[in-house]
Amino acid sequence: MIDRSHPKLVIYGDIAIDVTIEADHTPLLGQDAADTRIALLPGGSAANCAATAARLGAPVEFVGVTGSDFLARILVEDMQKHQVGIQHLKQTSGPTAIVAVIVHAGGERTFYSFRGAATTIRYGPIADGLIQRGDCLHLSGYSFQDERSRETAMELIAAARRVGAWVSLDPSFHSAQDFRDKQQPVLRAVDIIFPNETEALRMTGHADPERAAAAIHELGPRLVVVKRGEQGCLVFSAAERIFVPAYPTENVVDTTGAGDAFCGGCLTGLLYGMTPREAARCGHAAAACVVAMQGGHTGAATITEVIRFLREYDDAATISAIQRTGLVLGERSIR
C-alpha cells in the first residue's frame, strides 16, 4: 500500500528477468562451457531502482509494460513483495523482457538485452492524478531508446511539469551514445540526472568528468550526479561541486544493479529532505548492500539495515540525516 501522506516516487522504465551466466572460461565459437552457474532473477534498471527505494521506505509507483507469461508473474510478485505500487504496470500480450548477463573471468560483464513488450506495445494514456505536486518522476534512460517508450516518457514529463513535480533521469549507455543528436532537448525538463562516468563523457565529448558534469548542468538539470562506481560520485550544482566517496566494500558478489540502487537510495534521501551530499551517502550505502548479493535488487536493504551498515563505518553524520527524515519511523518490512 502506497503512503499517500508523503510525496512519492513514480518510476518509469524496464522491468526484466535477468539470466546471469557465470563461467570459469569463455568457450570459442562452436564450443561448450560446462563449468557454468546460471541464475534467473528479477531485474531491469527501473525495477531495481523501484525495489531499492521502496525497501528503504519511500512510497513508489511503478509505470511500465510487461508480458503475461510465467516470467511476468515472477516480476509482478517480486514488485508486490517489495511493496512497490504496480497498479500502473500494464501486463500485455507482448513478450516479457529478458537480459542475459554474461559474467566473465575477473568480474567483467557483457549484456544481451531483449526489452520485450516495452518496445513492441504502447503504454497508452497516462492515468489522471498519477503524478502529483511534490512527487518525483524518475525515468530510466532505456525509455528513450525506441519511439514507443520515448513517447510515454515525454508524456510523463509533461504531466510532471503541469503539476509541479520534479523529474529525474538515469541515462543508459545507448541513450547517452546518441544524446547530442536526439536527447539533448529533454534535459531542459530534467531536474536531476544520474549518468555514470562513461555516459557523462559520451553525452558531452569531454574527457574529464567534472567538465562533463558542468556541461550537462548548463543544459538544464539543477543537480548532476556522476556515478563513478567504487570511487564514489561527483555532485554538481550551482551551489556546490563536491566529490562524495563510496564506502569500501570487501564482499562484492555482483555489481549488477549497483547504479540503480544508488539512484534509489539517493532519490529516497532527496524526497525526504536530505541535502545532495547526505542523499549521495545514502545512495552509496544502498548500493553497497545490493552488491553484496547476487541480483539487481536481491540485497536491497531496509533503512534499519542501512543504518547498521553505516555504523560499521562510524558514519554518524549520515545516520543523523536519516533519523532526521523520519524514514525509520515509516519503515516497511517485506512480507
Whether residue 204 is contained in a domain is answered as: yes
Give the CA distances from residue 237 to residues 193, 206, 254, 277, in Å, rounded to whole numbers and listed in that order.
Answer: 11, 18, 31, 11
Q: Do residues 274 and 321 lie in contact, with contact meaning Cβ atoms separated by under 8 Å?
A: yes
Residue 196 is given by DSSP the state: B
CATH code of the domain containing 125: 3.40.1190.20
Question: Which set of grid coordinates corresponds to residue 12?
Answer: 518509469
- The reported pLDDT for the residue numbered 326 is 85
Q: Do residues 99 and 43 lie in contact, with contact meaning Cβ atoms separated by under 8 Å?
A: yes
Q: pLDDT (tens digit, 9 = 90+) per residue, 56-111?
A: 999 999 999 999 999 999 999 999 999 999 999 999 998 999 999 887 766 667 88
Angle at 88 between CA 133 and CA 293, to 5 degrees: 95
Q: Which domain holds residue 278?
A: 9-24+37-317
Checking DSSP bridges between strand 192-193 and strand 60-66, what pairing results, if any? unpaired
Whether residue 328 is contained in a domain is answered as: no
Alpha-carbon Rg of the chain, whole angstroms? 19
- The reported pLDDT for the residue numbered 13 is 95
Whether residue 245 is contained in a domain is answered as: yes
Q: Which residues of the chain have pLDDT under 50?
A: 1-3, 335
Whether residue 126 is contained in a domain is answered as: yes
Contacts of 316 by beta carbon, 8 Å cutoff, 6+ apart: none
Burial of 169 (0-12, 13-18, 19+ CB in 10 A): buried
- The reported pLDDT for the residue numbered 335 is 45
Whether residue 324 is contained in a domain is answered as: no
Domains contained in the chain, number: 1
Whether residue 132 is contained in a domain is answered as: yes
**Among 115, 112, 259, which residue's Cα sits nearest to residue 193?**
259
Whether residue 176 is contained in a domain is answered as: yes
Whether residue 333 is contained in a domain is answered as: no
- The reported pLDDT for the residue numbered 166 is 96
Q: pLDDT (tens digit, 9 = 90+) per residue, 299-319?
A: 999 999 999 999 999 999 999
CA–CA dist 176, 314 (Å, integer): 37
Residue 29's CB is within 10 A of a number of other CB atoms, namely: 4
- The reported pLDDT for the residue numbered 312 is 95
**Among 286, 136, 295, 114, which residue's Cα sits nearest to residue 222?**
136
